[in-house]
Amino acid sequence: MNFEKIVILDFGGQYTQLIARRVREAKVYSEIYPWDAPLATWMSGNVKGIILTGGPHTVTDEQARQCDRSIWSTHVPILGICYGAHLMAHVLGGKVRTADSGEYGEAAASLDVSHPLFEGRSPQSRVWMSHHDEIEGIPEGFKIVASTSNCPAAAIANDESQWYGLQFHPEVGHTEGGFEILQNFIYNICNIIADWDMASLAELSIESMREKLEGKKVISALSGGVDSTVSSVLVQKAIGSQLTCLFVDHGLLRKNEAEEVLSVYRGEMGLKVILVDARRRFLDALEDVTDPEEKRKIVGNLFIRIFEEEAAKLGGIDFLVQGTIYPDVVESGSGQAQVIKSHHNVGGLPDDVQFEGILEPLRLLFKDEVRELGRELGIPAEMIERQPFPGPGLSIRIMGEVTEARLRIVRESDAILREEIAKAGLARDIWQYFTVFLPVKTVGVKGDERTYANTIAIRAVSSADAMTAEASEIPYAVLRAISGRIINEIDRVNRVVYDVTSKPPGTIEWE
Q: Which residues are catalytic?
A: 82, 169, 171
d(CA 243, CA 239): 7
Choose between 420 and 509: whose C-beta lies nearer to ligand XMP.
Answer: 509
* Contact status: 341 vs ligand XMP (CB under 6 A): yes
Contact range with ligand XMP by CB under 6 A, out of 5-13, 115-123, 168-176, 502-510: 502-510
Q: Where are the beta strands (DSSP E) in 212-269?
A: 218-222, 243-249
Give the nearest distance from C-beta 357 to ligand XMP in angstroms. Answer: 23
Q: In what order do the strands lie in the sheet with 273-277?
A: 273-277, 243-249, 218-222, 319-321, 357-359
Choose between 119 and 499: whose C-beta lies nearer to ligand XMP.
Answer: 499
Choose between 50 and 286: whose C-beta lies nearer to ligand XMP.
Answer: 286
Half-sphere exposure of 356 (CA within 13 A, CB side): 11
Choose between 241 and 336: whose C-beta lies nearer to ligand XMP.
Answer: 336
d(CA 248, CA 456): 27
Mark out the alpha helices in 387-468 (DSSP H runs).
Answer: 404-423
Instruction: State which of residues 95, 143, 280, 343 lies at the interface with ligand XMP (CB under 6 A).
Output: 343
150 burial level (CB within 10 Å; 0-12, 13-18, 19+):
middle
d(CA 287, CA 277): 18
d(CA 81, CA 64): 16
Choose between 341 and 386: whose C-beta lies nearer to ligand XMP.
Answer: 341
The answer to whether 91 and 66 are in contact (CB under 8 A) is: yes
d(CA 379, CA 265): 10
Choose between 25 and 465: whose C-beta lies nearer to ligand XMP.
Answer: 465
Give the nearest distance from C-beta 391 to ligand XMP in angstroms. Answer: 4
For residue 81, the tally of other CB atoms under 10 A from its CB is 28
Choose between 133 and 414: whose C-beta lies nearer to ligand XMP.
Answer: 414
User: What single letter denotes the amino acid at residue 486?
Assistant: I
Give the nearest distance from C-beta 342 to ligand XMP in angstroms. Answer: 7
Contact range with ligand XMP by CB under 6 A, out of 42-50, 111-119, 369-377, 387-395: 387-395
The answer to whether 94 and 139 are in contact (CB under 8 A) is: yes
Give the nearest distance from C-beta 113 to ligand XMP in angstroms. Answer: 42
CA distances from 321 to 223, 267, 327, 349, 353 (A): 12, 21, 17, 9, 12
Nearest to 386 by CA among 236, 251, 264, 243: 264
Which residues, 389 to 408, sit near ligand XMP by CB under 6 A?
390-392
Instruction: State which of residues 37, 91, 466, 479 lies at the interface with ligand XMP (CB under 6 A).
Output: 466
Instruction: State which of residues 173, 388, 484, 504 lies at the interface with ligand XMP (CB under 6 A).
Output: 388
* Contact status: 301 vs ligand XMP (CB under 6 A): no
Give the nearest distance from C-beta 509 to ligand XMP in angstroms. Answer: 3
Give the nearest distance from C-beta 347 to ligand XMP in angstroms. Answer: 8
Which residues, 426 to 465, sit near ligand XMP by CB under 6 A?
432
Kindly determine how many residues on this chain lie close enough to bind ligand XMP according to the rule CB under 6 A. 14
Instruction: State which of residues 345, 455, 483, 494 lies at the interface with ligand XMP (CB under 6 A).
Output: 345
Contact range with ligand XMP by CB under 6 A, out of 93-101, 134-142, 258-266, 336-344: 336-344
Radius of gyration of the chain (CA): 26
Contact range with ligand XMP by CB under 6 A, out of 110-118, 162-170, 212-220, 386-394: 386-394
Size of the chain, expressed as the number of residues it contains: 511
Give the nearest distance from C-beta 292 to ligand XMP in angstroms. Answer: 10
Instruction: State which of residues 344, 371, 418, 495 lies at the interface with ligand XMP (CB under 6 A).
Output: 344
Choose between 48 and 295: whose C-beta lies nearer to ligand XMP.
Answer: 295
d(CA 215, CA 101): 65
Per-residue contact flags (x/-) with ligand XMP for residues 79 to 118, judged by CB under 6 A: ----------------------------------------
Give the nearest distance from C-beta 289 to ligand XMP in angstroms. Answer: 16
Contact range with ligand XMP by CB under 6 A, out of 5-13, 79-87, 383-391, 410-418: 383-391
Give the nearest distance from C-beta 505 to ligand XMP in angstroms. Answer: 11
* Contact status: 507 vs ligand XMP (CB under 6 A): yes
d(CA 170, CA 186): 13
The answer to whether 223 and 253 are in contact (CB under 8 A) is: no
* Contact status: 369 vs ligand XMP (CB under 6 A): no
Q: Which phi and psi angles does 343 have, rounded to 5°? A: -70, 140
* Contact status: 509 vs ligand XMP (CB under 6 A): yes
The helix (H) or strand (E) run that includes residue 237 is helix 226-239
Q: Where are the beta strands (DSSP E) in 138-257?
A: 143-148, 155-158, 163-166, 218-222, 243-249
Which residues are near ligand XMP by CB under 6 A? 341, 343-345, 388, 390-392, 432, 466, 503, 507-509
